[in-house]
Amino acid sequence: MNKCQLVRDTCQFVFQKSKHVKINEENLKKFADSLDKQFRNGYKYTEFGDYECHFSQSEGGDEALLEYLFVLDSLNFCFWPESAQKWEYDDLALTLKNAIKKDRNVFKPENLAKISYDFVYKEIFQGIQFPLLNERVRILREVGQITVEHFEGSFANILKKSEKSAVKLLFLLTSFYNNFQDTAIYEGHQICFYKRSQIFIGDLYSSFQGKSFGEFTDIDQVTMFPDYRVPQILNQEKILEYSEILDKKIAEKEQLPHGSDFEIEIRAATVECVEQLKNLLFERGHKIMAIEVDWILWQKGEAIKDEIVPHHRVLSIFY
């Protein structure tokens, strides 16, 4: 089963029935023209290894980087709740980087399987009350326990079983690990998003530069990663258009219920929008993958996140 295609197909189903989210085709084409011009002027998105907050091969080798990435993308969700000390993705990435540099074995599956709340809170997060910390600790334990039980205690064995196929790896991740089973029900149909499992595959590809654990023969199958930053920038560019009621809820920073039609339609339309944008860029001579379009949009959104329209707010472990 190609679960990457399942994301595309089920999200398209939602988009075709969507009541609250539409794509402005004219503005999408204008945005594609703008990106086309930027590409021809030498624009390039930032690679995983170019971020100082990320752990790298040179700091610990292939297996250490693999362990770091698995933990990073297991915890890569929900940075928006307001708190006294605001934490973003970069803070999580750097905190985990410091932890594995301090103790090379900290993210070994056998250690994750028995990791305590106090250790995560005091030793890894240095006493910072990170959002949904209890859930993050539970997920770390699950990741460790499942890997020990089904993959002989090694993340590398998951990659071996995937046989350099992103599609096979996604199937394994979403079949064995509950925290990667990012789906919803819309009008009686199961809708698949798989944000964190696919971003893990994308991070492998980027951080290993398509080699070693990042070598995939079908990386182009992976979709974008439906979160809250990408639809935010698409809404800012007037590409994603919301119904009056949804627009008001987002503008007032109202928390949307997880699994609501509002949330599902935003995420599904984002996947569909990136697919359409990818195709428009291909027509303009750019052979680009959906994950690369995601990186571009996410980086553009991050750069101006405090200056643009608010993002939708959902309390979730999936993004």
182, 227, 261, 294: which one is catalytic? 227
Compute the distance between CA of residue 277 and CA of residue 34 in angstroms, rounded to an integer. 12
β-bridge mates for residue 242, sequence order: 21
- Percentages helix, strand, coil for the chain (3-state, rounded to 5) are 60, 5, 35
- What is the amino acid identity at position 102? K
Contact indicator for 273, 23 with CB cutoff of 8 Å: yes
Q: How many CB atoms lie within 10 A of CB 21?
A: 26
Q: Is residue 227 annotated as a catalytic residue, yes or no?
A: yes
Q: How far is CA 288 from CA 8, 97, 200, 231, 291, in A?
A: 17, 30, 19, 19, 8
Distances (CA, A) of 170 to 2, 7, 205, 319: 9, 11, 13, 16
Active-site residue numbers? 227
